[in-house]
Structure 1
């Protein structure tokens, strides 16, 4: 199935005298009367990238969803589509806006790991890891977790030879079962101090499991460096003001290193991600929690840190950086989040200026329910910010243009 829905929809709308470049309040109508419009509050163009054929969601903020074009066909973005049949991985051509399924629908599926060089997407169904080729759609079974080590993959290393993740004990799984809401399980798991194990699984052959490191701590947020195949980042999960959160492990030597040490009471550092060159780990930084706000980067070689301050309203659930790390973006926040701002509901572009960010509002997410985190990504050409939102009534994937519209 392929749909060039955006072009068709735009043509239909124009035939009714509705112009795609109309200024409208984002989320002011459910659904919006056009697939693209100018945000009335910011003057930036928004485009719905996914068709209104069910719920569609882009990836978590540090998971790469893109593969380069073959010839002139256009870069592709992988995303999740949910229909009555279940949840499937789809690919969207960012040039033509055609969409196509990559996998069949599953009742439960997770993983969302794109291999740019292999042009495969890795995902997990139950205890089995699969890989599907984005162009040929050929699927292979990569690995089956043994009965005594049921775990989940979350990341892929730079040379695409190893998948990584963290295993949790049966006692931890029982806490999740009894207390499925985050507000109920979060402190319980942190306080339990149950063992967790970082691991790798080979992407080739029958797959080989390598156990890297075990600690009686909630090891989480596992990410491989985008450039160093032996550098794996992880966190000590829990209340951020109680943990020195950000760590790395060398998968060859198994040497573990703390990246940022807290220096005052209730300081927090979290939602960490690698810069595109792999030289810096960036993170949300508050000293103390809920009072000052910044994005800080730690140089992995020297340990030197650089911070950019921002205001309470500009704080975002997640941040990200462009390929050259010259500009940043954030997905805003909601009144009950850590910043406690009633005016934080924006997609932001951040430009470093000395020791702070200059912020520009790109899209108004006032009508979005932040129970679904937007998780912003820079597009491969650097001209758009791509995010997910539910202001039309169900989750869809959108792009907002960084340059202001001339209309």
Structure 2
């Protein structure tokens, strides 16, 4: 491809631990702040993306501590920080292949694979002029990377009103593609092409032929969650929405067949919020009450769900535990405060660890930028305070 990316001298260097430990004042849960550089903005991967390694003892973190956002990993036992990339441009859209020690991300106009052990990089795909890429995903068999690209428009970056910008971009109908690229190298395969704003691909962790992608826009104006069979190119709406419904923030559960999400019925000013699980083919749909529409949810299975809470009255991670006898979720429990204070503040993007014993979240509570926190989940949730509602 010419002008190949090369790692700089800081790739592989180690930095001293920055961690701080404390007990949450209200819940008593043990919290570890993994990053605390006062001049850096540090965040874990987006909540849909697996950031833990196979042994569950290191976590991928994005940080701009040297002026440009690069990829790091933090050893959860010692707190040691290792720099994984030293590239000439900021990285974005980072994910990890669950079956391989490989990270995937965008660096400028290139889709890149990083060997997390040797730190060698490989450019897999160069985006065409006039397009932007979104979060990529590695298929469950570790053979392909799937992503969405969409046309760059004159309206991009011109509005300070994020909601209005999203609506304007949706209405403009940017040309978009969902495509896959072999990890071993080779030409891309275009699976979906349309004049709709298509975005954010998530791959099933167990079914290599299945991914989701989203139709971007105000949630109440689109059928957001779409599934795609990479072998047949068949695509379908997973959770179609009626005129008074909205859903989004979709993610895969660990079984690779169930998709989680949240949303609301009614209007934004007086919503009936819920979170839900649905099979990829649209069957086995179940939904339960949520505290607000401004939040994120994550779960590995039905048994335990973590939610961000909301900046509108509940700036705390919440846990829902399934009650087999009652066949419903128990009242949510407060786990740890993150202090989320508004839509312009750092979003927690809370995510359960693979074995479900910890939650990672981002927070600006320790300073002006973001830092990464992990909170241990008690064996018995009964000792955590119950959350009984929120002001909206």
Normalization by structure 2: what TM-score? 0.84
The verdict on how the C-alpha distance between 1:224 and 1:147 changes in structure 2, with shifts beyond 3 A counting, is: same
1:391 aligned residue = 365
Choose which of 59, 64, 69 in structure 2 pairs with 1:87: 69
The verdict on how the C-alpha distance between 1:181 and 1:191 changes in structure 2, with shifts beyond 3 A counting, is: same
* Structure 1 residue 238, shift from structure 2 partner: 1.3
- CA distance in 2 between counterparts of 1:152 and 1:285 reads 22
Which deviates more from structure 2 when the two are superposed, residues 395-404 or residues 283-292?
Answer: 283-292
Is 2:105 the partner of 1:123?
yes
* Structure 1 residue 178, shift from structure 2 partner: 3.0
2:200 aligned residue = 221
* Structure 1 residue 243, shift from structure 2 partner: 1.6
Local SS of the residue matching 1:388: strand
* Structure 1 residue 375, shift from structure 2 partner: 0.8
Local SS of the residue matching 1:187: helix
1:185 aligned residue = 165
Choose which of 347, 354, 368 in structure 2 pairs with 1:380: 354
Is 2:339 the partner of 1:366?
yes
Any unmatched runs of 5+ in structure 1?
10-34, 336-342
- CA distance in 2 between counterparts of 1:317 and 1:225 reads 23
Partners of 1:197 and 1:219 within 8 A in 2: yes
Is 2:338 the partner of 1:350?
no
The verdict on how the C-alpha distance between 1:147 and 1:176 changes in structure 2, with shifts beyond 3 A counting, is: closer
The verdict on how the C-alpha distance between 1:303 and 1:43 changes in structure 2, with shifts beyond 3 A counting, is: same
Q: Which deviations, in whole Å up to 9, do the C-alpha atoms of 1:344-380 show, x marking residues without a partner?
A: 2111111134445521111123365552211111123
Partners of 1:331 and 1:374 within 8 A in 2: yes
* Structure 1 residue 188, shift from structure 2 partner: 0.5
- CA distance in 2 between counterparts of 1:367 and 1:269 reads 22
- CA distance in 1 between counterparts of 2:330 and 2:294 reads 13
Partners of 2:89 and 2:108 within 8 A in 1: no
Greater fraction helix: 1
The verdict on how the C-alpha distance between 1:307 and 1:76 changes in structure 2, with shifts beyond 3 A counting, is: same
Query: Over aligned residue pairs, what C-alpha RMSD do you find?
Result: 2.4
Is 2:199 the partner of 1:209?
no
1:169 aligned residue = 151
Is 2:304 the partner of 1:327?
yes
The verdict on how the C-alpha distance between 1:190 and 1:320 changes in structure 2, with shifts beyond 3 A counting, is: same
Partners of 1:346 and 1:364 within 8 A in 2: yes
Choose which of 241, 264, 275 in structure 1 pairs with 2:220: 241
Report the number of matched residues: 361
Choose which of 143, 148, 156 in structure 1 pairs with 2:138: 156
The verdict on how the C-alpha distance between 1:60 and 1:299 changes in structure 2, with shifts beyond 3 A counting, is: same
- CA distance in 2 between counterparts of 1:380 and 1:244 reads 29
* Structure 1 residue 85, shift from structure 2 partner: 3.4
- CA distance in 2 between counterparts of 1:364 and 1:229 reads 37
Correspondence 1:133-148 to 2 at 5 A: 133-147=115-129
- CA distance in 2 between counterparts of 1:318 and 1:242 reads 19
Partners of 1:376 and 1:388 within 8 A in 2: yes
Local SS of the residue matching 2:163: helix
2:79 aligned residue = 97
1:277 aligned residue = 255
1:16 aligned residue = none
The verdict on how the C-alpha distance between 1:216 and 1:392 changes in structure 2, with shifts beyond 3 A counting, is: same
* Structure 1 residue 145, shift from structure 2 partner: 2.9
* Structure 1 residue 317, shift from structure 2 partner: 1.4
Correspondence 1:265-304 to 2 at 5 A: 265-290=243-268, 291-301=271-281, 303-304=283-284
Partners of 2:91 and 2:108 within 8 A in 1: yes
Is 2:27 the partner of 1:42?
yes
